Amino acid sequence: MENYSNFHIVQHPLIQHKLTLIRDKKTSKKEFSELVNEVAMLMAYDMTKDLPLKEVEIETPIKKMKSSVVAGKKIVLMPILRAGIGMVNGILQLIPSARVGHIGIFRDEETLQPHTYFFKMPKDGTKRDIILIDPMLATGGSIIAAVDKLKERGCKNIKCLCLIVAPEGVKAFCEKHPDVPLYTAALDECLNEKGYIVPGLGDAGDRLFGTK
Ligand code: PRP
Ligand code: URA
């Protein structure tokens, strides 16, 4: 695959270890859900390492001091329904003040085309930094549609977080939205004839919610 400057693979050993457990078909629904949240939290930690800081004055029990707090705009987490929901609580543990919007998109099983059925963002969402989350980026259709919608609404500062991506989808995404950083834990081999990521982890929504 070509190199895209907006595409980042997070290689941390703990993320890679937990991702192996997530992929394993023997992993239970409970463990799968816990691990998806843990990996989402670790990835969010990495992708927020450039958040700007500002100094404030506080007083410790010993003396007054200047110390750093996160400056700038507040964050909105935007899970793509359904499977993106599985990553929200993990990231909220790290950034409890983040607001949460929702975008409902499902892909047609035959055509693999995305269909948007729900959109709700905090009122001042366009002024905030958006983290769009979905465990899987396969053809890229769903996440491209989600970023299209956010840009249409006036959002400017968007980052995407997906656990596993396929090369076909990364190419489509990076060519359509080169200005939007995309973070992942794994770039897999390809898509199969049904549009599933190979080797992937199967259907993320079904494994999270036990719907199969
Ligand atoms: C899955 C996944 C992504 C999408 C990825 O959702 O969570 O949103 O497929 O595929 P794409 O890159 O080819 O668009 P799905 O459509 O299965 O909906 P669900 O989460 O409601 O099960
Ligand atoms: N959606 C999933 O849940 N898994 C895939 O492999 C592709 C799309």
Task: Please report the pLDDT score of residue 87 as a whole number.
Answer: 98
Taking the alpha carbons at both ends of the chain, their separation in whole angstroms is 33
How many Å lie between the centroid of ligand 1 and the Cα of residue 24?
19
Question: What's the pLDDT band for 33 if we cut at 50, 70, 90?
Answer: very high
Question: What's the pLDDT band for 1 if we cut at 50, 70, 90?
Answer: confident
Closest ligand to Cα 114? 1
Task: Please report the pLDDT score of residue 58 as a whole number.
Answer: 98
Question: What's the pLDDT band for 2 if we cut at 50, 70, 90?
Answer: confident
Task: Please report the pLDDT score of residue 73 as a whole number.
Answer: 75
pLDDT at 84 over 80: yes
CA distance 189 to 202: 14
Query: What is the residue-averaged pLDDT of the chain?
Result: 96
Q: Is 138 in the pocket of ligand 2 (CB under 6 A)?
A: yes
pLDDT at 72 over 80: no
> What is the 3-state secondary structure of the chain?
CCCCCCEEECCCHHHHHHHHHHHCCCCCHHHHHHHHHHHHHHHHHHHCCCCCEEEEEEECCCCEEEEEEECCCCEEEEEEECHHHHHHHHHHHHCCCCEECEEEEEECCCCCCEEEEEEECCCCHHHCEEEEECCEECCCHHHHHHHHHHHHCCCCCEEEEEEEECHHHHHHHHHHCCCCCEEEEEECCEECCCCCEECCCCCHHHHHHCCC
Note the pLDDT tens digit of each residue in 131-173: 999 999 999 999 999 999 999 999 999 999 999 999 999 999 9
Tell me what the mean pLDDT of segment 38-57 comes to: 95
Task: Please report the pLDDT score of residue 150 as a whole number.
Answer: 97
Which sequence positions are flagged as catalytic? 107, 111, 203, 206
Q: Which residue CA neighbors atom 7 of ligand 1 most closely? A: 83
Task: Please report the pLDDT score of residue 202 as a whole number.
Answer: 98
Tell me what the mean pLDDT of segment 52-58 comes to: 96
Atom of ligand 2 at shortest range from CA of 201: 6
Neighbours of 67 (CB within 10 A): 10
Reading phi first (left if > 0) and then psi (alpha if -120 to 50, else beta), residue 195 is in: left
Q: What percent of the chain has a predicted confidence (pLDDT) above 70?
A: 100
Q: Is 114 in the pocket of ligand 2 (CB under 6 A)?
A: no
Q: Which residue CA neighbors atom 1 of ligand 1 most closely? A: 136
Q: Higher model confidence: residue 1 or residue 22?
A: 22
- Closest by CA to 142, choosing from 122, 158, 162, 127, is 162
Tokens 């007083």, residue located: 59
Q: What is the pTM of this model?
A: 0.95
* Choice from 102, 132, 134 to test ligand 1 binding pocket (greatest atom count within 8 A of CB): 134
Q: Which residue CA neighbors atom 2 of ligand 2 most closely? A: 203
Task: Please report the pLDDT score of residue 212 as a whole number.
Answer: 86
